[in-house]
Amino acid sequence: MKKLFLIFSISFIFIGKTNAQSADVKTTLQSFPYQKSADVSNAIASMQSWGTKEWKSVLSMLNDDSLKLQATYALNAYVHAVANDAAKNNAIATTLASAVSHAKTYYAKQFIATQLSTLGNDVAVKPLAKLLKDEAQCANAAIALGIIKSNAAIDALKAASSKLSGEQKKQIDNVLAQLNKPASPMRALTLLPAVSVNPVQHLLQLQDRMEAAKNPLQKKAILAEAAAVPGFSTFIFVSKSLQDPEMKSFVAPILARLALADKAIRGEPIRKALETAIPLIKGEDSAILVKSITAHLKALPYDNGFVSLFNGKDLTGWKGLVGNPVVRAKMSPDTLQMAQMDANDKMYQGWTVKDGLLVFTGHGDNLCTVKKYGDFEMYVDWKITEKGDAGIYLRGSPQVQIWDTSRREVGAQVGSGGLYNNQKNMSKPLVVADNKIGQWNTFHITMQGEKVTVYLNGQLVVDNVTLENYWDRNQSIFPLEQLELQAHGTYVAYRNIYVREIKNDFIIPLNEEEKKQGFVSLFDGSNLDNWVGNKEGYHIEDGAIVVDPSHGGGGNLYTKDEYADFSYKFEFQLTPGANNGIGIRAPLTGDAAYVGMEIQVLDSEHEMYKNLQIYQYHGSVYGVIPARRGFLKPTGEWNQEEIIAKGNSIKVILNGQVIVDGDIKKASENGTLDHKEHPGLKNTTGHIGFLGHGDVVRFRNIRIKKN
C-alpha cells in the first residue's frame, strides 16, 4: 500500500501545492458541462491547484455510473487545456497513468486511455502496454499507443504483437500497419488541445472526422473518443455505426454505457439501438454489462422520449406551408385540405434529401411538421453557406434565428439562436456561438409554455425568454402548433433532428360521466395516499405507478380500504415478458392469488410464455377461470381494463372486449383448474392490490365504484 501511495503522490508534483490550497471538488465540477469559456477557465485554474485527495476523488468517480458524467467533462476539458504546457502535461499524464491500474470499469479504462492518447506523453506507454493484454481493452490501448506514436509506444506495440495471438494480435497489427504508412493520419485524428472546445463542439468535430475516416482503425479511434462525451447526441452519433458490419461489435458496449449513464437518453430510436446492441456485446465484462443494460432497457419508459423528425431518406413526417396559424384557423376543413395538398406539391420544389441531409435549395416556402407540438425539447444540426439566412419556427411562429454573422448590414453580428421577432422581450442571443460558415452547428431548444431556452453549440444563447406571437401580438403564443424550418431564399442543410414532447400535467381527473356513475379516483397521477404496502418498489414516474426492480420492485401495493362488490378501472403498460397481477378481495398478508383472487396482468403473448396453462393468460382469474386471448395491445402501448366483481360474478373487460365473464363458485365447485386450494374465493370483501413479480409494469388513471 505504501508503494502505491508513493506512485500516486509523485504524480502531483506539478499539479498541486497543498490540499489546503485546493478548490473544493464538488464546487469545481458544477462548472461542467460548461457553457461559457469564463466558467471553465476558472474551474481549470482551480483544478491546477488540486492535490492528491482531490484528484483521487475525481478519478474514483469514473468507476461509478451515477457520478462519472461531470468527472468526464471536467477531466476532458482539463486535459485539452494543459496539453500544450509541458510541465502540466507531464503531471496530469503521470496522474492518469497511475490511475489506469485503479480503474475498475470498462468505461473508466477506456476514458483514461483516450485522455492519455490526447496528451501524447511517454509516461502512458507502460500502463497502456499492460492494457493490451486485456481482451476488452486491447483495441482502445492499441489505438492510444498508435496516436502517441513515440518510439517507446511503437516498441510496446511490437512487443505485444510478438506475444499475443488471435483478435488481440490482429488489432495491434492493424495499428502498426497504419503507423508504417507515410503521413499517418492517426495524430491528425486527435482533437487539438483547446480550452474553447466544449463537449458539444467536440462531438461536432468527431462527426466531421468520421466523414473523413478512411478505414476501420480510424473510425474506432473516433468512436472511442466519442465514448467519453456523454449525452443524447453522442448516443445518436455512435448508434449510426451499428449499420457498419466492421464497427457494430465495437460500438455496442459504448452505446450500453452511454445509456446507463444518462436516463434522459430515451425514446424509440434509443430502444431500437439498444435492442440491436445487446446481442453484440461480448468480452470479459459482458455478463455484467448485458445484465445491466437489459434491465435498463426493460425499465426504459415508452412514453415522453425522443423521436426522429427526419429519416435521412425522404420527407416523411413533413408537409408544405399553408398560410400562418391565424389564417389556417379561419379556413374550413375542406378549404384547408385543398390548400394543404397544393402546398405539399410545391414542397418538393425547394426541399430535397441529399446524402442523408435535409436541404433547402433556396426556392419555396417553409417546411412544416405534420404533427403539432405543445411543450417540447429539440435537437437539430444545421449548416449554411455565405450570406445564409434561415430559422426555426416554434409552434408556427418565427423564430430561432440562423444567419451569417458577417452580415452586419442586417445586424447578424449578434449571432444565431436569438428570438429574432421579439419586440418586448429579449430578441438577441446572449453570446455569439456560431461556427464558421460551412461548418455544422447544433441547437438544443426547449420550449415550455411561452418560455424558450436555446443552446447553440453548447453555449446558452437564450435563457428562458418569452416568445411573442408574431401573427397576433395581442395574444400569447399558440399552445399547440407545428414546427417549421424557414425558407428564406438561401441554402441551408439539416441533420439529426430529434424532438421530445414534454408532458407537465400528468394528473388525470375523473370525467363528468364517471362522477355521475359514482366512481372515485384511487390514483390520478399525483400521490399514493390511497395505497399501503411497498411504496419503494412502486413509485410515481410521469404520472404512473411504476413497479421497478431497480427500486426494490416486487411485492405488493394495496388499497387502504377494502372493497366487496365494485367496478375497478385502470390503464396499464407492459414491458416485454412482464408479469404482475391485480389482487381482489385480498387480505394484506399471504399470497393474494390464493388467500384472495388474482386477475392476471401478463405479457402472455410473449414467446417466453408459449407453454402457459389456459388459466394463466392475461385477464384470467388465476388458476380458476381462463380469459379469452388476442386483445392486448402491442407491448409499450397503454391498455384499458375494467374488473367488475359482484358476488360470485367476475367480469374482465380489456380494451373494450369482454375476456372473462364467469362465476367463481361454479368454476371451482369440482376443483380449480390448477388443482390448488383457493380459500380466497369465498371472501366477500378485501383489499385490491398490485402483485409484483419483479418485472417493470406501469399503471395509471385508477378509478373505482362500489356496486
DSSP 8-state class, residue 509: P
Q: What is the pLDDT of residues 495-513, one digit of tens each?
A: 999 999 998 778 899 999 9
Q: Give residue 282's pLDDT band: very low, low, confident or very high (50, 70, 90).
A: confident
**For residue 349, cis peptide bond before it (omega within 30 degrees of 0):** no
Fold annotation for 2-179: 1.25.40
DSSP 8-state class, residue 625: B
Report d(CA 318, CA 525) in Å as an integer. Answer: 34
Whether 199-302 and 2-179 are alike in CATH topology: the answer is: yes
Percent of the chain exceeding pLDDT 90 equals 65
Q: Give residue 552's pLDDT band: very low, low, confident or very high (50, 70, 90).
A: low
The phi-psi region of residue 240 (left if phi > 0; otherwise alpha if psi is between -120 and 50; otherwise beta) is: alpha
Q: Give residue 8's pLDDT band: very low, low, confident or very high (50, 70, 90).
A: very low
- pLDDT at res. 209: 93
Q: For 512-706, which CATH class?
A: mainly beta
Q: What is the pLDDT of residues 172-192, one digit of tens each?
A: 888 888 777 654 344 333 333
Domain boundaries, the chain: 2-179, 199-302, 318-501, 512-706
Q: What amino acid is encoded at 333 in this protein? A: P
- pLDDT at res. 2: 32
Stated length of the chain: 707
- pLDDT at res. 167: 83
pLDDT at 3 over 50: no
DSSP-assigned states of every residue in 323-345:
S-HHHHHHS-HHHHHHHHHHHHH
Q: Based on the number of CB atoms within 10 Å of its own CB, is 564 exposed (0-12), middle (13-18) or buried (19 or more)?
A: middle
Poorest-confidence range of 517-526, 530-539, 645-654?
Answer: 530-539
Q: Which of 649, 613, 650 is nearest to 629 (CA)?
A: 613
Beta-strand ranges (E) seen in 548-637 are 555-559, 566-574, 579-586, 597-602
Q: Give residue 39's pLDDT band: very low, low, confident or very high (50, 70, 90).
A: low
Q: What is the pLDDT of residues 197-208, one digit of tens each?
A: 589 999 999 999
Report d(CA 76, CA 113) in Å as an integer. Answer: 12
- pLDDT at res. 285: 63
Q: What is the pLDDT of residues 362-394, one digit of tens each?
A: 889 999 999 999 999 999 999 999 999 999 999
Q: Which of 272, 210, 270, 267 is nearest to 244 (CA)?
A: 210
Report d(CA 167, CA 165) in Å as an integer. Answer: 7
- The values of phi and psi at residue 689, to 5°, are -150, 165
Q: Which of 261, 239, 247, 253 is nearest to 217 (CA)?
A: 247
Report d(CA 327, CA 181) in Å as an integer. Answer: 64
3-state secondary structure at position 575: coil
Report d(CA 426, CA 418) in Å as an integer. Answer: 8
Within 8 A by CB and 6+ apart from 18, the residues are 51
Q: What is the pTM of this model?
A: 0.75
Q: Which of 296, 204, 303 is nearest to 259 (CA)?
A: 296
Q: Which three cell numbers stand for residue 541?
A: 414516474
DSSP 8-state class, residue 303: S
Hey, CA dihedral for 186, 230, 359, 434, is it positive or negative?
Answer: negative
Q: E strand or H helix at 557, and its extent?
A: strand 555-559
Hey, how many other C-beta atoms are within 10 angstroms of the C-beta on 639? 17
Give the CA-trace dihedral at 219, 234, 288, 305, to 10 degrees: -140
Q: What is the pLDDT of residues 57-96, one digit of tens each?
A: 888 888 887 778 778 888 888 888 888 888 888 999 999 9
Report d(CA 392, CA 394) in Å as an integer. Answer: 6
Report d(CA 217, CA 139) in Å as an integer. Answer: 9
3-state secondary structure at position 319: strand
Report d(CA 76, CA 72) in Å as an integer. Answer: 6
Report d(CA 420, CA 443) in Å as an integer. Answer: 15
Q: For 199-302, which CATH class?
A: mainly alpha
pLDDT at 682 over 90: yes
pLDDT at 195 over 80: no
Q: Are 106 and 293 in contact (CB under 8 A)?
A: no
318-501 — its CATH code?
2.60.120.560
Q: Give residue 560's pLDDT band: very low, low, confident or very high (50, 70, 90).
A: very high
Cα-based angle 641, 643, 645 (whole degrees, multiple of 5): 170
